[in-house]
Every structure is written in C-alpha cells, then in structure tokens.
Structure 1
Amino acid sequence: MSRLDDLSPHELGRYALAAHEAGHGVVHKALGDKVAWVRLGSGGGCTRTRVQTLDHDVIGSLAGQEAQALWISRRLGWSFGSALSLARKSSGHDLAHVRKVIGRSGLSLGAAQSRARSLVRSNWGRIDRAATRLYRSGQLSGWDL
C-alpha cells in the first residue's frame, strides 16, 4: 500500500471512497446477500448487489458511510464524529435511498444505523483489505470481498 502521507488530497478521497464501497460489499456479504461487484469510477463508486430483504438493503446502504468514516478516523486520525459528518456529505445517494425505503422495512433508522456500524466494525479487517485492493484496481468481484 502507498504511504498515506504521499497521497494527494484527491487520492486520499479516492481511498476513502474505496472504503465506502468495500463497506457496502463486505456488509452485504456478511448479511448473506449476493454481491456481483464493487467499482470506483471517475465520478464515484458503485456496488451491485442482490439483497434478500429490505432490511438488508437499508443496512447495506448505511454501511458505506460507516466504513468511510471508520477509515477516515483510523487512517487519518480524525475523530469518528467528524469523519462521519464528512462521510454523510458524500453519501447523498445512499441516504436518499434509505429515506425512500426505510418505512417499508422492519427497522427504525436508529436500529439500521446501529446494525450497520456493528457489522462494519466486526468486519473491519475484511473491509480495510478490500478497500486497499479496490483503490489499486478500481473494481473487485463479489468473490474478492
């Protein structure tokens, strides 16, 4: 892995985005969902999944910002609260999706956030390793998570 001190702000942002997408993918796999791939592009990232339940959809959608915040906190030394505020700003699409579907799920927003945070933390090693590989390659298959 590149030393983080040697990366430009743009590359640090791309690395944090890789953690975000790896968080979606690894948490979906942990929940038993099918993950086709995770990708980084010039305008953002994308994770292609087939979820088993709407609860999984909500939890997996929130896992991206949780993983990004944990990466920023652990790798860049930010407080988790500040890192989460930043991650939420770049998670608009995910959060809009959660707002749209959470009423049909069996979870409250607080319960979904708590479950996403717990799964990210308990799978952090997998997420961190996947983020490094995704940062380098730009794409991982579900098998690579």
Structure 2
Amino acid sequence: MTTAPHAPHVEIALPRSWSSERDPARGLLAAARSREVPPSGFAPELTLHSTPVEATLEEWRAASIADLAGQVVDLDVEDTDTYDVDGVAVSYVRFGHRVGGRDVVSEQWAWRVDGVGVTLTGTVARVDYLDYGDLFEEVAATVAFVGDRAA
C-alpha cells in the first residue's frame, strides 16, 4: 500500500510490476503504466488525481463528464453509477474515446473528501479491455481515505 503524497489520508495499491510516478504539485497523486505493451500497442495506465472541489460529488462529476467532451476525441459515455462502499459515496463512469487514432476505454472512480476531489482513471485500448478491466476494479477497491470521511 502506497500513501499518496497529496495528503496523508489517501492510499492506493498500484500494480508492482508497472512503472509509476508522482507529481503532487500538479495534483497527480500517482500514475502507473504497464511495462508490458499488449499487441494493440497501447500501454494500459492508471492515474490518481486530486483537485479542490466546492460542489457536491454529484455536481462535480456531472460537470467533469460534461467537460470531457472538450478534452477527448469521440467521447461516448457507456456507463455511470454512484454507489456506497463502507459508508463512502463513489461515483463511477466508463467511457470510450480515441487516443492517437486508437479506440480506448477509460474507467473513472471519484470521491470527494474534505473539499478535495480524488479521481482514479484506468485507460486501456478497447481490444484489451477484457484483460485489464478487472485489474482496474481491484486497484479502485484499494483506494482508502485514512482518518477522513468522504462526502
């Protein structure tokens, strides 16, 4: 378990065999990329970001999803959900888009803790999604907020 440097209360377990980096000054709590590139040529990646958020979780995520249309090519929101894990609200979205001409799938889990929005995003080539979707879910399940309460 690695403690994210942004705040001592965010923890995540990233795949040990993946290369990783951090840049808390830019809100990048953690980023990891598979060292093994699948035949698709697109290396799967995970990122954990934080940003100040004054809105509710629902308002913030709705605005973030709307903003995605201007940030990614051919956005297609495929699934959204909000659920509760141990009393903590989690917002989930899966969306397709294109990166460098490749069809990719991204999954995002988001939490709002003490005015900070934390987002975990896993991105993989669409043809590789079945090989990595479960891994992304396993990593999302390790995100923990120690000593604080998500709201």
TM tier, shorter chain? 0.3 to 0.5
The structure in which a higher percent of residues are helix is: 1
Greater relative contact order, per chain length (Cα 8 Å cut-off, separation 6+): 1
Larger Rg: 2
Task: Tell me the TM-score normalised to structure 1 length.
Answer: 0.33
Task: Tell me the TM-score normalised to structure 2 length.
Answer: 0.32
